Amino acid sequence: MRKLIILLMVMLIFALVSGIAAAKEISVNSTDSIQNAVNNAASGDVIIVKPGTYSENIKVTTQSLVIRSESGKPENTIIKAVPNTSVFNVAASNTTISGFRIESGETGIYLVRCSGCTIINNELSDNKHGISLSSSNNNNISENQVNSNKMYGIQLVNSEGNKLLNNNVNLNERGINHINSNKSTISGNNVSNNVEFGMWISYSNDNEISGNTANETSRGIFLDSSGDNTVSGNIVAFNNVSGFYECPACHRNLVFNNYVNNALNADINTRDTTWNIEMTSGRNIVGGKYIGGNFWAKPDGTGFSQTATDANGDGIADSSYIDSKNYVTDYLPLVPVSNPQQPVLPVANFSTSVTSGYAPLTVQFTDLSENAVSRSWDINNDGTVDNTSKSFVYVYQEPGNYTAKLTVSNENGTDSKIKEIIVSKFMIYPVADFSANVTSGYSPLSVLFTDKSQNATSRNWDFGDGSNSTEQNPIHTYPTGTYTVSLTAINENGTSPAKTATITVTTEESSSSGGGSHHSSGGGGGAGGSPEPQTNVQVKELSQARVTNGKPVLFDFTKNATCVAYVSFDAKKTAGKITTISEQLKAKSTLVSVLDSGEVYKYFNLWVGNSGFATEKNIENPVVCFKVEKSWLQDKKIDQSSITLNRYNDKKWSQLPVKLLKEDSKYLYFTAETPGFSFFAITGKAVEKVADAKPSTDTSKLDQNSTASETEPEQKTEQEEGKNKTTSIPGFEALYVVACLVMAFLHRRK
């Protein structure tokens, strides 16, 4: 039972997911509003902002939007905020913001209660705060230039599991302000030249702080009431108060393999910090072959690591570094192998030929790194090395947001850089096109328009006379005049430019029309304008033929759309090419009276030529050929000989005798001579049951057998229908299966 419930839930989820609309691209010009585009976007859409300067504040509440500049160069696309408000206020998960220069806001980009967001390759300056996260988890803040903001470059409050990677955060009051936030990865950032702190880590635990540069500020890395943090591989130099600071409430922090070069390297107020790991094989931050403690230097060259001895040349000092005043004991301090100066580390950098485009997207990757001796490319940032060349071409086959990562190394360490590559689905736009069966003629003129558009899911016709239609192949009737008809084609990606044509309708002179421009019931209505309400027309088909005096004319309905196979007559007048319309109706026309003549198979209308053409003056021997489904006769038990064609004229119905022309596996074809063309109905009568048969002397046994063979199936059918009444209840089968499963489950439990 549990498996059955799970299966039903999976099917329901699949049904819901399958109904999700496809994502689209929304383009924003410099005169447009980014906020309007965000408001009109659906989850998964990509908003592409063209170069220009935008003055607005943008609030994002729809999840999974990509908002990126078209050029990918922040200096080309600038967004300035209204003062005292955030430029981007994001309250939606899985948002991507990329490629903007963001200025003058309370906060440049503010994430609140978000997860899975990507903030990449933006420039943020002259804001109060550059980037701020509040109660936001598992977001990626990478490759941003966050400089010259009044207070904090990047701030995290009450957040967890975020990644701050390869950002330049300079000339702010504080570089990274990290409060009550845990399990962050802070790696590869340059947080130099800030006023107060490079990094302030407060009440934050289990964070990885590695590979950063925190130079030339008051305190490089400041730990306040924080524990279980790992601080490694950082360059912390030339800070005017101290390199590291820890308050008394800090606990169990691990600090190793850092290059520390300050007048006061460590201002520590706790004994609970570990300053080295076990001696481990591997290149350390100053190029030695073992990783252990830290490199302790001073700007004047008198630091412990700069003067310590290393008798065995293993890159580890012969004695421990002890600063008892500041509670530092490093049992495995590093010493330089050959050069006591600051190590030369690799700086990762690369270019791409494009950062966005349509799938399949070809991208040229070129390594621009400094001080690198080897490299590895992870094109999809999935942990797999895809290439080790300095330059190569890669093709992204599928749409999606990809993060390409380059990792470079030299003898002193490694460095990484990432870039986002956005691959979009190719947008197929509609192209409008159509044809008309005629473009000129006499009033009233009926025109069949045939849609020939490409890539269209819907369309809109403007007939030029104030009328519109969304049918694919409409028929429209024009009075005298000149009209411009236009068609626009539509699909999920947009609306096409209009395709137009001109329709010219004139008044037929009496001498050339034989007086046929007036309505005549004997003429059968008129193809120029059907009086039938189009809401009652189930399907229609047109046929054209040339009418020449003295010759037979055949209008053959080759598409088999209606129950009419053909219309024929002998022409008494040359009229050129004319059109006949067959309209099969959904129900009885409101223009005719009730027909009391058996079971109705189909109602249909026939209009031949313009109004008044199909009269005795112009045609003779008119014939209609129609078809009837054999399955209808069987289902309704219709006597084939009772099939009749009924015509409505002069406010009454009349019956027309019919002849069986032929039959095939599906239809019986009948012909009927008709005095004119108008409203028709095909009818038949059910076979009457015979109570008593009169047997003859020689055929009584045959008649009895025949009667039995005819009545027994009917009796059996009635019995079966009574027997199966319960199974015809909607959903009965499903309920029956569920009941059986429940009983089986209960039986097993016993």
pLDDT tens column, 713-750: 333 333 333 333 333 334 444 444 444 444 544 444 44
Dist CA 310 CA 299 (whole Å): 21
Nearest to 226 by CA among 284, 168, 186: 186
Give the CA diameter of the chain. Answer: 140
One-letter amino acid at 222 equals F
Highest mean pLDDT among 569-583, 604-618, 694-708: 569-583
Q: pLDDT per residue over 615-660, tens digit each?
A: 888 899 999 999 999 999 999 999 999 999 999 988 899 999 999 9
Q: pLDDT per residue over 179-231, tens digit each?
A: 999 999 999 999 999 999 999 999 999 999 999 999 999 999 999 999 999 99
Please give the pLDDT value at position 609.
83
Please give the pLDDT value at position 529.
55
pTM over 0.75: no
Please give the pLDDT value at position 135.
97
Please give the pLDDT value at position 743.
52
Please give the pLDDT value at position 393.
93
Residue with tokens 């580890």: 316
**What CATH architecture is 350-424?**
Sandwich (2.60)
Domain covering 510-684 in this structure, CATH number: 2.60.220
Residue with tokens 């107020």: 269
Length of the chain: 750
Break the chain into its structural domains and give their ranges.
350-424, 434-506, 510-684
Read off the pLDDT of each residue in 319-328 and give the average, rounded to a whole number.
96
Residue with tokens 């539509």: 490
Same fold, 350-424 and 434-506: yes
DSSP code of residue 637: T
Percent of the chain with pLDDT over 70: 85
Dist CA 540 CA 515 (whole Å): 28
DSSP code of residue 718: H
- The number of angstroms, rounded, from the C-alpha of 36 to the middle of its chain's C-alpha atoms is 19
Dist CA 675 CA 697 (whole Å): 48
Dist CA 159 CA 117 (whole Å): 13
Please, are residues 365 and 404 in contact by the beta-carbon 8 Å criterion? yes
One-letter amino acid at 633 equals L
Please give the pLDDT value at position 611.
64
For the chain, give me the number of helices (H) and strands (E)? Answer: 7, 61
Please give the pLDDT value at position 731.
44
Non-local CB neighbours of 195 within 8 Å, separated by 6+ positions? 172, 173, 174, 217, 218
Residue with tokens 């000149």: 482
Dist CA 115 CA 137 (whole Å): 5
Tell me the pLDDT band of 338, cut-offs 50, 70 and 90: low
Please give the pLDDT value at position 739.
46
Please give the pLDDT value at position 19.
39
Q: pLDDT per residue over 63-87, tens digit each?
A: 999 999 999 899 999 999 887 889 9
As given in the structure block, the two tokens for residue 145 are 């230039």
Q: What φ, ψ does residue 668 adopt, rounded to 5°?
A: -105, 135
Residue 470, pLDDT above cutoff 60: yes
Cis before 713 (ω within 30): no
State whether residue 678 is helix, strand or coil.
Answer: coil
Residues paired with 554 in a beta bridge: 568
DSSP code of residue 550: T
296 CB burial (10 A radius; 0-12, 13-18, 19+): buried
- The number of angstroms, rounded, from the C-alpha of 282 to the middle of its chain's C-alpha atoms is 48
The class that CATH gives domain 434-506 is mainly beta
Read off the pLDDT of each residue in 387-413 and give the average, rounded to a whole number.
91
